[in-house]
Amino acid sequence: MRTKKEALVLLLAGGVGSRLNILVQSRAKPAVPFAGVYRIIDFSLSNVMNSGLTKVGVLTQYKPLSLMRHLGMGAAWDFAGRSRGVKILPPHTGFKDSDWYKGTADAVRQNIDFLEKNPADEVVLLSGDHIYYMDFDAMLEYHRFKKADVTIGMMVVPMSEIHQFGAGITNDENRIIDWEEKPENPKTNLASMGIYVFDYKYLLDTLYKDRAEVDFGMHILPRAIDNDNVFAYPFYGYWRDVGTIQSYWQANMDVIRRDSDISPAEWGVRTNIESEGRPADRPPARFGNDAKVSSSMISSGCVVKGTVENSVLAPGVIVEEGAVIKDSILFADCIVGKNSTVDLSICDKRAHISNHVVVGSGMNHKTPNFLHPKHLYNGISLVGKEAVIPAETVIGRNCIINSKTDESVYSSKVVEDGDTV
């Protein structure tokens, strides 16, 4: 019987994630809260844990402190122990922006000493900002069966979306014979998921070979496809890149849809319940006599006296009498005052919506945010961390209320569609 091989995991968690706008003002994208009690990175870490892999290097860069606090020693995902662990890997070269990782391959190359100190048969390379469930052990077996140098997790996406991804053209054996990085005129709808298995020695040799190759999708994979054995590993489950406000909102809504393919509990997704906010210490949610809740996720410590419809409430959210929350995501410890409405909005931690406020007013979803038209254009409004919205204020669609703003910055009781405060 062949002995099961061990693989080393590298998890890329350093991206700026600028399209998430104020949600990443104070945190890395993988640390953004998701579905009430989780963080985005919990999904990749839990997949690693559930696949039986035990050694993980997490490559950080942009505003990593909340992410590092969340990861801790890795005990939440069973990574603490003599033969297992999570290692935080920051950029090595300096503190200037110019010293930061220049691409995914450059990020791994800067941490090549970690690779060399942890010899393995394969390296599993992941992104920390995707929502999905995947068995990496099955992917590793496929990689070995194909005798591949590189195996890429791939799935079919709508042709209208393929321009956002690396795209692979395969033959009858799933060998990738051509590659298009974010093609404007695509030849295929088979998209890379940003999940790779590399032969360990092949990866080391590749990283040493040409230091000008700083990105896997742009540089290393096209050359590997031309010269070596690169295969597609087909994936058919739920997977979503939550790198935009719209996709992030939709993935949260998918969690509370009864017919959805996403189920963090059934997938065995874990989080660090001892991290900031300590959801482990929260009391059960409480509901007032007039509370109405439908198709929603209500986390521990919430107090609901008003109406919550089709929304996700993280721990400690307070919804006062007469307040209505609809189609929205509220992070931990938000307060929604009496007779206020939050509609199609995302509110960051400890946002305080005072009494008689409307966030998400009117039916005009088409006027984009004037400062960030590519971030907010479908009607979703954002309220930043610890922002205070004064009483009787009306905020329109595609608006941004920046973090830690208070009543002193409001020149009017009305914030028009597309405006930023």
CATH 3.90.550.10 domain locations along the chain: 7-256
Q: Do the Cβ atoms of 38 and 47 come closer than 8 Å? A: no
Q: What is the arithmetic mean of pLDDT over 200-210?
A: 91
- CATH assignment of 285-415, among 2.160.10.10, 1.10.10.10, 3.40.50.720, 1.10.3720.10: 2.160.10.10
Check residues 305 and 280 and name the one with the higher pLDDT. 305
CATH 3.90.550.10 matches 7-256: yes
How high is the pLDDT of residue 77? 94
How high is the pLDDT of residue 84? 80
CA 389 to CA 386: how far, in whole Å? 10
pLDDT exceeds 90 at position 311: yes
pLDDT exceeds 50 at position 315: yes
Kindly report, residue by residue over 182-199, the tens digit of the pLDDT: 888 888 999 999 999 999
How high is the pLDDT of residue 263? 92
Kindly report, residue by residue over 30-43, the tens digit of the pLDDT: 999 999 999 999 99
How high is the pLDDT of residue 64? 82
Q: What is the arithmetic mean of pLDDT over 110-134?
A: 93
How high is the pLDDT of residue 3? 44
How high is the pLDDT of residue 276? 62
Q: What is the arithmetic mean of pLDDT over 73-91?
A: 84
How high is the pLDDT of residue 310? 98
Q: What is the arithmetic mean of pLDDT over 307-322?
A: 98
Averaged confidence pLDDT in the chain: 91
CA distances from 190 to 180, 184, 215, 307 (A): 10, 14, 20, 42
In three state form, how does the secondary structure of the chain look? CCCCCCEEEEEECCCCCHHHHHHHCCCCHHHCEECCCEECHHHHHHHHHHCCCCEEEEECCCCCHHHHHHHCCCHHHCCCECCEEEEEECCCCCCCHHHCCCCHHHHHHHCHHHHHHCCCCEEEEEECCEEECCCHHHHHHHHHHCCCCEEEEEEECCHHHHHHCEEEEECCCCEEEEEEECCCCCCCCEEEEEEEEEEHHHHHHHHHHCCCCCCHHHHHHHHHHHHCCEEEEECCCCEEECCCHHHHHHHHHHHHCCCCCCCHHHHCCCCCCCCCCCHHHCCCCEECCCCEEECCEECCCCEECCEEECCEECCCCEECCCCEEECCEECCCCEECCCCEEECEEECCCCEECCCCEECCCCCCCCCCCCCCCCCCCCCEEECCCCEECCCCEECCCCEECCCCCHHHCCCCEECCCCEC
Kindly report, residue by residue over 360-417, the tens digit of the pLDDT: 999 999 999 999 999 999 999 999 999 999 999 999 999 999 999 999 999 999 999 9
Least reliable range by pLDDT among 89-103, 305-319, 335-349, 392-406: 89-103
Q: How confident is the model at residue 56 (pLDDT cuts 50, 70, 90)?
A: very high
Q: Do the Cβ atoms of 305 and 288 come closer than 8 Å? A: yes
How high is the pLDDT of residue 257? 92
CATH 2.160.10.10 domain locations along the chain: 285-415
Q: What is the arithmetic mean of pLDDT over 68-75?
A: 89
How high is the pLDDT of residue 185? 87
Percent residues over pLDDT 90 in the chain: 72
How high is the pLDDT of residue 83? 73
pLDDT exceeds 60 at position 99: no
Question: Which residue is it, tokens 């610890």?
Answer: 386
